[in-house]
Amino acid sequence: MPKLKTKSGAKKRFKLTATGKVKTAQAGKRHGMIKRSAKFIRNARGTTTLSDADAKIIKQFLNG
């Protein structure tokens, strides 16, 4: 069996923390900011960690 390649899209969008969690940018901030509340924009600053179920999928993409 050939080796599985790392998914290039995942490599660019996600990072693993020292404890093994998956760190990513906040969702919903690309466009349409006018219709978003100030509270939403404020709370969506910086980065976030994925839930365990989502992180399991992404780790497969990153580790190949």
pTM of the model: 0.81
Q: Are 26 and 49 in contact (CB under 8 A)?
A: no
Fold for domain 8-63? Answer: Factor Xa Inhibitor (4.10.410)
pLDDT at residue number 43: 96
pLDDT at residue number 6: 84
> DSSP of 32-64, one letter per residue?
-GGGS-HHHHHHT-SEEE--HHHHHHHHHHHH-
pLDDT at residue number 29: 94
Please tell me the total number of residues recorded for the chain in this structure: 64
Band (46; pLDDT cuts 50, 70, 90): very high
pLDDT at residue number 63: 85
Say whether pLDDT at 3 is over 80: no
- Say how far apart CA 28 and CA 41 lie, in whole Å: 9
